[in-house]
Amino acid sequence: NNWDYFDLMGTNVIEFNYKQMTCAELSESMARREDEDEDQCHRMKDEYFDACCDTKCSLCGDKGLDAGVQVSYEGRMMTCLELDLSLGPAAIELDSEQCNAITGQYQDRC
């Protein structure tokens, strides 16, 4: 099974059924109703993915991160966890050239 993991951007506001709600509220609503209509769930995920799911670069994806290992990135010493967390605010997208370069360099150590 090749699953990708994305962070929920819970405070983003979307329109659903003609009313404003946050992505966190939509996610909670979907989780409560998931068994009711699987097709509807898939349609909603497709429709709201771009607005609600963060496609930030991740050092290790779902492989697990050795969070405490120290690495040097852009001249600063930091842990793998700090490096991984810094990729989101830096707006480095998953599968971009910059993401691939960073993961290629640090994936084995982290």
DSSP line for 24-67 = HHHHHHHHHHTTT-HHHHHHHHHHHHHHHEE-B--SSTTS---T
Q: Give this prediction's pTM.
A: 0.54
Using DSSP's 3-state secondary structure scheme, residue 83 falls into: helix
Average pLDDT taken over every residue of the chain: 82
pLDDT per position as a tens digit, 34-83: 566 677 777 888 888 888 887 778 888 767 788 899 999 999 999 999 99
